[in-house]
Amino acid sequence: MNCEMLLFKNRHWSFLLPAAAVAALTSQVPARADPPKQVLGLERVFAFTYIPRDYDPKQLRAVTFIEPTAPKDWQYWAPRKVIVAAGHTWFDLLRNPVDKGVDILTQLDYGGNPRPAVSIDEFGFDFGGQTDEKSAAILRAAKRKRPGLALSVWEMRGPIPKVLADAYRDVVDLVLLECYVGEKKDYWWIATQVHAARMHGLLPKTIVALGLGKGGNPGEDWARSKEELQQQVQFVRLIAPESPGVGFFAAGATPALMAEADGLCGRFFDLPTDGSKLPPDLVALAKLFSAPHEKPTLVCSPAWVEPNRSAADPGKLVEPTTMRAYLMNLGDHDAANVQVRLRNPKDKGGDVFAAGKVPLVPKRGEAIAVLPVTAKWNVWKTWDMEVEAAGGEVLGFKH
């Protein structure tokens, strides 16, 4: 079935489901789960990151993880049992050889902190391609070289692919999922990332990071009201009750939003995990990813497509050029011989520029469609994505 036929005609995922299906899904709720113990030595992880310069983070009461900050600031936060992580971007890590990237991470200025921690912003470039493989290699080698260094990683661009998930499971202490959304029509972006983290056994040391306020790029409107922030946090509790907490990318936050986020953290584990405070369509969205699906049920998105990026520099593409498309199977049966095509929109030519076949998308698993590029793509991430799975269903989402 073609993704476009299902969802790409409208950004609202709920048009996929008739009222009877919504009712059936909302009738099921997940059991309450206690938070895991001792992630980064913490029982609960409440991360506040990229805090506005005019806001004093010492006002926060529930915070247990904070970055970026001055190296010596750990001396203030340690008595409050707050982990201070030195923030570091991917730029020099991934544009240098692996051993150089490892040296950079292990030799950062941690201010003499006896519990050094680094927060890497960010990994997740090409859905298991060369750059993701290099990222995994850096993490493993850094942990070998300095076992006492706590590693936290921001995961971007959608679900965690296997090559990164394996490294995160083995050597990373905390995973932060970039789930920056505004209105509820985009909550699928949160649900799919949480589903992938659970599928890979990572959720007990993974938190959803929500965006506060307005982002730095046009169209980046995240949680801008107390009501929207409350709804997003309540949705996180519904879909990820076993997660150790929640985080916030706070660069665009107002003082009022910071106070609301802090208060929500203070009562986070008292919030219901049954969706009782949420609209029925959000409960149905959650159950879409947790309810049984008898036949193969593939989830895809034009946003989950990236070119294979060079291990030497992610700004350069591997030749010959291929697109890597992430596919998720919610079903209880494998999907075989799945056809995938990327097409320019009609007003940009309408031609197919990349296509390929995936022999198998395993049940309740994932696969990467490797698509040779045969023509020019004229748009970026707004291309049409066509997925055909014989005997299965395809659910497509736009970001």
Domain boundaries, the chain: 3-26+291-396, 45-279
Q: What 3-state DSSP class applies to 393? A: strand
Q: What 3-state DSSP class applies to 37? A: coil
**Which strands make up the sheet holding 352-361, listed edge to edge?**
352-361, 335-343, 384-388
Q: What 3-state DSSP class applies to 225? A: coil
Q: Which two tokens stand for residue 157?
A: 């661009």
Q: 212 phi and psi, to 5 degrees?
A: -105, 130
Half-sphere exposure of 283 (CA within 13 A, CB side): 19
Whole-number pLDDT of residue 220: 87
- Determine the distance from the C-alpha atom of residue 399 to the mean position of all C-alpha atoms in its chain, rounded to a whole number: 13
Q: 228 phi and psi, to 5 degrees?
A: -65, -40
Tell me the per-residue pLDDT of 194-250, one tens digit each, with 9 for 90 and over. 999 999 999 999 999 999 998 878 888 999 999 999 999 999 999 999 999 999 999
Architecture of domain 45-279: Alpha-Beta Barrel (3.20)
Whole-number pLDDT of residue 68: 75
Q: What 3-state DSSP class applies to 209? A: strand
- Determine the distance from the C-alpha atom of residue 341 to the mean position of all C-alpha atoms in its chain, rounded to a whole number: 24
Tell me the per-residue pLDDT of 328-343, one tens digit each, with 9 for 90 and over. 999 999 999 999 999 9
Residue with tokens 């493989």: 133
Whole-number pLDDT of residue 119: 98
Contacts of residue 360, Cβ cutoff 8 Å, sequence gap at least 6: 334, 335, 336, 367
From the number of C-beta atoms within 10 Å of its C-beta (0-12, 13-18, 19+), residue 346 rates as: exposed
Q: Which residues of the chain have pLDDT under 70?
A: 1-37
Whole-number pLDDT of residue 37: 63
Helix axes 255-266 and 226-239, enclosed angle (nearest 10):
30
Yes or no: say if 224 and 258 are a contact pair by the CB < 8 Å rule: no
Residue with tokens 């001792």: 38
pTM: 0.92
Sign of the four-CA dihedral 88, 307, 200, 193? positive
CATH of domain 3-26+291-396: 2.60.40
Whole-number pLDDT of residue 217: 84
In angstroms, the CA 310 to CA 321 distance is 10
Whole-number pLDDT of residue 38: 83
Neighbours of 270 (CB within 10 A): 7
Yes or no: say if 342 and 319 are a contact pair by the CB < 8 Å rule: no
Whole-number pLDDT of residue 10: 34
Q: What pairing do the DSSP bridges indicate for beta strands 83-84 and 297-300?
A: unpaired
In angstroms, the CA 127 to CA 226 distance is 34
Whether omega for the bond prior to residue 366 falls within 30 degrees of 0, making it cis, is: no
